[in-house]
A and B are shown apart, each in its own frame.
Chain A
Amino acid sequence: KAGVTQTPRYLIKTRGQQVTLSCSPISGHRSVSWYQQTPGQGLQFLFEYFSETQRNKGNFPGRFSGRQFSNSRSEMNVSTLELGDSALYLCASSLEGGLSNQPQHFGDGTRLSIL
């Protein structure tokens, strides 16, 4: 069974640009969550999508947005990039969130560098 697939693996952008990251969850998984990982802040929750609806949102500015498609694939967009957005962006999927205790499984991440 294929794991969580994130593309691209590496990305270099400049300040002010925008970027779209993609995540394909494990087959059958309907919940997709996004996290940002930096050395200083650690792993921080961005948002979660379930059945094409954003169900939870972390404390990030509106420049960070996402969506989920009917096949559960998800995309994350960051507009007007800032130097501080340089991070590893991780996608995690689970069978479902909410009342379920299903654990999340992470993809390999997208390493975003802002110049």
Chain B
Amino acid sequence: QKEVEQNSGPLSVPEGAIASLNCTYSDRVSQSFFWYRQYSGKSPELIMSIYSNGDKEDGRFTAQLNKASQYVSLLIRDSQPSDSATYLCAVRRTYNQGGKLIFGQGTELSVKP
């Protein structure tokens, strides 16, 4: 079992729709969770960080964390073609892992005009 798992996609949604990206992790002691966006040929860009159970909203993005289910998700409302990218879920066991992030394989999102 991989430490962090994501659906590889591609996930295709029409412009204006809600895109839902999911991520599960295997280590219960994981404490910090991050979503990065990576455009083709570019480096990952931080979108959201979440540390506590529940929802965290930032503009069109909402991150949801459920530690009991070991599940974190990212919702993108009013999806735009410019949101087309690969979305990477990253997990950190903060208390003794320092800067070590464990990444999922990424979900490719395609937003069709």
Interface residue from B49, B88, B99, B105 paired with A33 (Cβ < 8 Å): B99
A-B contact count (CB 8 A): 70
For A46, give the chain B residue with the smallest CB separation. B100
Q: 8 Å CB contacts to A: which residues of B84-113? A: 88, 90, 94-95, 97-106
Number of interface residues of B (CB under 8 A): 25
For A4, give the chain B residue with the smallest CB separation. B43
What residues of chain B lie closer than 8 Å to A107, measured between beta carbons?
Answer: 43
B46 at the interface (CB under 8 A from A): yes
B43 to chain A, nearest CB (A): 4
For B96, give the chain A residue with the smallest CB separation. A98
B46 near A56: Cβ-Cβ < 8 Å:
no
What residues of chain A lie closer than 8 Å to B90, measured between beta carbons?
Answer: 43
A106 near B43: Cβ-Cβ < 8 Å:
yes
B42 at the interface (CB under 8 A from A): yes
B102 near A45: Cβ-Cβ < 8 Å:
yes
Number of interface residues of A (CB under 8 A): 29
Among A11-19, A75-83, A89-97, the one that faces the other chain is: A89-97
B32 at the interface (CB under 8 A from A): yes
What residues of chain B lie closer than 8 Å to A42, measured between beta carbons?
Answer: 103-106
Interface residue from A31, A33, A45, A99 paired with B94 (Cβ < 8 Å): A99
CA distance A45 to B91 in the complex (A): 12
A33 near B101: Cβ-Cβ < 8 Å:
yes
Interface residue from B94, B99, B104 paired with A55 (Cβ < 8 Å): B99
Give 8 closest A-B pairs by Cβ, nearest first: A97-B98, A97-B99, A48-B99, A43-B103, A33-B99, A106-B43, A56-B100, A55-B98
The 6 listed contacts between A and B (C-beta, < 8 Å) are A31-B98, A56-B97, A90-B43, A101-B94, A105-B46, A106-B36
Which residues of A come within 8 Å of B, CB atoms?
A: 31-33, 35, 42-45, 48, 50, 55-56, 58, 88, 90, 92, 94, 97-101, 103-109
